[in-house]
Structure 1
Amino acid sequence: MDMTTARNQPQHAPAELLAEACTFLASAELRGTSAARLATVREEITHTGTYAHTADELTWGARIAWRNATSCLGRAYWRALEVRDRREVTTVDELAEACVEHLRVATNGGRVRLTITVGPAADAGQALRVLNHQLVGYAGHLQADGSVVGDPKSVWLTQLVRSLGWSGTGGRFDVLPLVIQRAPGERPWWYRLPRDVVMEVPLSHPDLPWFEALGLRWYAHPAISHQRLRIGGVDYPAAPFSGWYTATEISAENLARRYSVLPEIAQRMGLDTTSTRTLWLDRALVELTTAVLHSYQRHGVIVVDHHHAAKSFSTHENSELAAGRPVYGRYSSLVAPTAAATTDVYYRSYRNRVVVPNFFPPAPIDLDPDAANGALR
């Protein structure tokens, strides 16, 4: 995340908004939209510059946005997405409470529910947003020598919340607080997450007794919270979304790439790390992925392997094509980082076209020079 001096989020012109709204309301899932409803939407946009979705429109819009998300391999379950409507939220405290409740509902004791919580729509005066990439995440503590203890992806946010008065443990798996901004330029507020909503899984291995001593862990599910949900021309900057982890997201993308744990695992395994020809990286990564699958199952937390995920996506793709809907995708996000050639997705090609409704990158974070002065909580 980068700070910027850009003051306002771009607003959709009425003509553009009206066109996108009408296209959405005329979509297959909402084909029963009445002429009266369309007239009401036109009138709202004409007089206010925006319009409010009905509960049904919001639900279908969020589900279709997931179906259209080109970087997601789990889209086969888009119809099962539970949509929580929290558009009545107006303050940072209320949004924080909605996020905490989201974690309770989605985590579900490890039986992770596919859940999205939709906060208020953006308008000219307020754009409540969560600055965390995910509702649960680990701090990245920058050291004097430039190294990072914890998650390098979180260094900027960690430095921000420390300047606001937060102090963590300084460890590798130091859970960050929730950070919320009310409007561009305003200083953010932070909230410690209650321990009962942060479910973590300590990693062990079914065949390597020493593995547990590595002290590795990860949280139960990704609750992506920084994306901007767009439905029918209306933007929702606070819409945390939870799904299931694919094991390789944790092993390859998080622990291997960002935490750089493979050399230590390989050393413990007694592998020759002097040459890549020994495939020590591959062997260590397989055991790390095995540990993730074993540990999540052991603790009753849903996680899927990359073979199952790829097969379900192929089934989804075939169903969508049979329904007359093309399937777009970002190939690098759909292909597993391990054993890619053993999955059907590897041999397919995809056009990375973004259609709406969808999830979009957040607006650049805007902070006044004095925004980070003083402890807020």
Structure 2
Amino acid sequence: MTQLHENIEKQRKEAIEFLTLYKNENALSNQWLRDRLDEIKQEQKYIPTTEELVFGARVAWRNSNRCIGRLFWNSLQVFDERQVETEEEVYKALLRHIEFATNGGKIRPTITIFKPNSIRIWNYQLIRYAGYETEEGIIGDSDSIELTRICEELGWKGERTPFDILPFVIQIGSNKPALFEIPKKYVLEVAIRHPQYEELAQLNLKWYAVPMVSNMKLSVGGIEFNAAPFNGWYMGTEIGARNLADVNRYNLLPTVARIMGLETKSNISLWKDRALVELNLAVLHSFKEDGVSIVDHHTAAQQFKLFEQQEVEANRQVTGNWSWLIPPVSPATTHIFHKPIENLIKKPNYFYQKNPF
């Protein structure tokens, strides 16, 4: 059997498995499934209906082993944009996604799905800060240095501040990637301040409100949608314990420790731990005060426990990647830390894909 025939057979098998799942969870008849499979056989390929695509995207979230926020999987808003053909149309659809998902801070879990195999969004997230290498050190997000350099080669010029919003980089087929600036009115950001340490506000820190992942592909029924940006809302530790704290990101723990007056010459003072907690408190305080959706890691763990209970009641196996599910702050205070969980990959699902650059 050739590789092509193997791929066709694999896609056919996945389509049957997915439609069987769709039938069972939507209480449809066996006759419906037979009729649907006959349609696919006549068309010689599986093209999901919008209803099937909505179901698939939601179940993919339910199956996302690295996500602690799966309790809300069935609330995902799905925009079917498979009719889109041009870069300009993709750009406008992405702006619609940002506006709908942001919702003035009352964030709505959202995914926008474009046609498979032809569209790529080069950005890691739809909204992301640029990173610049300078003689004085890195300005901005060091995780964005490579994409920032590419954007500059394509003609973009940032202001070279720590928080420049990168443009969209959209590619269709083998076309040259196209740049599109994101109008500022679409980007909701939160200024980071602390309820006790007022000097923290003088750092002029901020973070964008909605984490919209755009570099993963959605796999549904044997079809891979390479452009399918999606979002929930932030768990505070994603910003306070990783984005702003990691040494290879904004590396702010020494600065926060200085503001707090901590002894940083010895590890025994636990200055990193204390600074980390206060930085996370600042993030949660700032988002809450601005009315922007966010969840702390203790509440997120409690919500995951409810998700586990729902899955057991539905006779579905709970799967997960333990190392991703435990929060980066005080993981042993959550029930997840103390129990095993099988990292079994089920489809539909979201998968990382090779960078196009």
Tell me if the contact between 2:131 and 2:142 (Cα under 8 Å) persists in the aligned partners: yes
SS in structure 1 opposite 2:307? helix
Verify the 8 A CA contact 2:131 2:145 in the aligned structure 1: yes
Identity of aligned residues (%): 41
Match of 1:300 in 2: 291
From 160, 166, 171, the counterpart of 2:156: 166
Q: Counterpart in 2 of 1:255?
A: 244
Alignment of 1:101-140 (within 5 A): 101-122=96-117, 127-140=118-131
- Quote how far apart the aligned CAs of 1:11 are: 10
Q: Map 1:112-261 to 2 at 5 A.
A: 112-122=107-117, 127-144=118-135, 147-183=137-173, 185-257=174-246, 258-261=249-252
Residue 29 of structure 1 and its aligned partner are, at CA, apart by: 2.2
Structure 2 residue aligned with 1:323: 314
Q: Partners of 1:114 and 1:165 in 2: how far apart?
A: 33
CA 1:11/1:167 → structure 2, altered by over 3 Å: closer, same or farther?
A: farther
**In 2, Cα distance between equivalents of 1:314 and 1:54:** 33
> Is 1:68 matched with 2:63?
yes
Aligned residue among 17, 29, 42 for 2:25: 29
- SS of residue paired to 2:337: helix
CA distance in structure 1 between the partners assigned to 2:177 and 2:226 by the alignment: 15
Bigger drift between 101-110 and 339-348 goes to 339-348
- Which residue is equivalent to 1:78? 73
Aligned mates of 1:114, 1:247 — CA distance in 2: 16
Match of 2:93 among 82, 92, 98: 98
Q: CA RMSD in A?
A: 1.5
Q: Normalised by the size of structure 2, how large is the TM-score? A: 0.94
Distance in 1, Cα, partners of 2:83 & 2:203: 45
Aligned-partner residue type, residue 317 of structure 2: P
Other-structure match for 1:59 = 54
Counterpart of 1:93 in 2: which secondary structure?
Answer: helix
The counterpart of 1:342, out of the listed 329, 333, 341, is: 333
Which one of the candidate residues 9, 15, 23 is aligned to 2:9? 15
- Tell me, yes or no, if the aligned pair for 1:29 and 1:60 is still in contact at 8 Å: no
SS of alignment partner, residue 244 of structure 2: helix
Separation of aligned partners in 2, 1:166 and 1:350: 45
Higher relative contact order (CA 8 A, sep 6+): 1
How many angstroms apart in 1 are the aligned matches of 2:5 and 2:72? 32
Contact 2:20 2:33 in 1 (8 A): no
- Amino acid in the other structure paired with 1:333: W
SS of equivalent to 1:137 = coil
- Provide the C-alpha distance between the structure 1 equivalents of 2:71 and 2:49, rounded to a whole number of angstroms: 25
Unaligned residue ranges in structure 1 (runs of 5+): 1-9, 367-377
- Equivalent residue pairs, number: 347
Map of 1:4 onto structure 2? none
In structure 2, list runs of 5 or more residues that go unmatched: none
With structure 1 as the length reference, what TM-score do the two structures score?
Answer: 0.89
Counterpart of 2:195 in 1: which secondary structure?
coil
- Aligned counterparts of 1:198 and 1:217: Cα–Cα separation in 2: 12
* SS at structure 1 position matched to 2:207: strand
1:288 pairs, out of 269, 274, 279, with 279
